Amino acid sequence: MDKSSIAAVVVDLDDTLWPIAPVIERAEKALAAWIRDREPEVAQRWDVNTLRLLRASLVAANPALKNDVLGLRRGTIAAAFAEAGATPARAAEAFEFFRAERQKVEFYPDALPALERLAARYRLGVISNGFADVHAIGIGARFDSVIAAHEVGAAKPDPRIFAACVERMRLPPAAMVYVGDDPANDVVAPRACGLHAAWINRHRRPWPEAHAADDPAGREFRDLAAFADWMLA
């Protein structure tokens, strides 16, 4: 990659800027407590584990929901409330509560300083399969473009989500580098769309054999700070 040709750095969010598992766990527990307090009949029928099973059953019935995590969460809550006899309005209120809790992230220590450093030289963008709201989180002003799967109707590794970012940022793919933690979604997929890619491998995982031909040799970094060091050197 010729760094002199790069005009934009586009980042993944979940497990790149913050760990997602604790965020979802806290949000689900907070929602369960909210339901117990306000809709005890729903709570008697559903808990965190059974809601996960319901969510899986909805995906089985409609595989397209796998690429729309926002719609899947909303649909799961709506189905659970409807089965317990609660009103759609109450289900919508519960979803908005969960959505707000989902924005309570804890950044990796290196993430925000690295973004600030990168922003001094490059335009920044986001492509995410999740429904984190960068404006609610407080980092939206840093990004020229934010592309979410539920808005585009396609999720990584689908080429359409990368094409949406290229179109919105008005740059050729070769002038952009995509940065994320997932080998298939964040390295192989953007490369196939003509973008450069960098792999943030915080947990020192081996590169998957299934993608041996796309090994990111020389483009693997322990965290976002190391990537920023390399880009700005």
Low-confidence winner among 45-49, 61-65, 115-119, 152-156 (lowest mean pLDDT)? 61-65
Average pLDDT over residues 124-144: 97
pLDDT confidence tier of residue 64, bands split at 50, 70 and 90:
confident
pLDDT at 127: 98
Q: Rounded CA gap, 81 and 118, in Å? A: 45
Q: What is the largest CA-CA distance in the chain?
A: 60
Domains in the chain, ordered, with CATH?
3-18+106-232 (3.40.50.1000), 21-102 (1.20.120.1600)
* Res. 121: pLDDT tops 90: yes
pLDDT at 217: 85
Token digits of residue 96: 């908005």
Mean pLDDT rounded to a whole number for the chain: 95
pLDDT at 75: 94
> What b/e string do you get for 151-176 counting C-beta neighbours within 10 Å, with b at 16 or more?
ebebbbbbeebbbbbbeebebebebb
* Res. 89: pLDDT tops 90: yes
In terms of Cα–Cα distance, which of 174, 209, 179, 226 is closest to 195? 174
The region, left, alpha or beta by phi > 0 then psi within -120 to 50, assigned to residue 153 is left
Q: Rounded CA gap, 34 and 57, in Å? A: 23
Strand 8-11: give its sheet, edge to edge.
145-148, 123-128, 8-11, 176-180, 196-200, 220-221
Say if CB 28 and CB 50 are below 8 A apart: no
pLDDT confidence tier of residue 6, bands split at 50, 70 and 90:
very high
In terms of Cα–Cα distance, which of 121, 116, 168, 167 is closest to 142? 116
Q: Rounded CA gap, 68 and 158, in Å? A: 13
Task: Look up residue 128 and give its amino acid.
Answer: S
Average pLDDT over residues 75-80: 95
| pLDDT (tens digit per residue) in 153-194 | 899 999 999 999 999 999 999 999 999 999 999 999 999 999
Token digits of residue 89: 């309005």
Q: What is the pTM of this model?
A: 0.93
Q: Rounded CA gap, 77 and 126, in Å? A: 27
Q: Rounded CA gap, 228 and 209, in Å? A: 27
| pLDDT (tens digit per residue) in 207-230 | 999 999 999 888 999 999 999 999
Q: At what angle do helices 88-102 and 21-38 cross, to 10 degrees?
A: 150
Token digits of residue 191: 């490369």
pLDDT at 63: 87
With vertex at residue 97, the alpha carbon angle to CA 142 and CA 29, rounded to the nearest 5 degrees, is: 105
| pLDDT (tens digit per residue) in 99-117 | 999 999 999 999 999 999 9
pLDDT at 2: 86
Average pLDDT over residues 48-64: 91
Q: Which residues, 6+ apart, have CB-to-CB distance to 194 below 8 Å?
A: 172, 173, 174
pLDDT at 67: 80
pLDDT at 195: 97
Q: Rounded CA gap, 137 and 106, in Å? A: 10
* Res. 1: pLDDT tops 90: no
* Res. 66: pLDDT tops 90: no
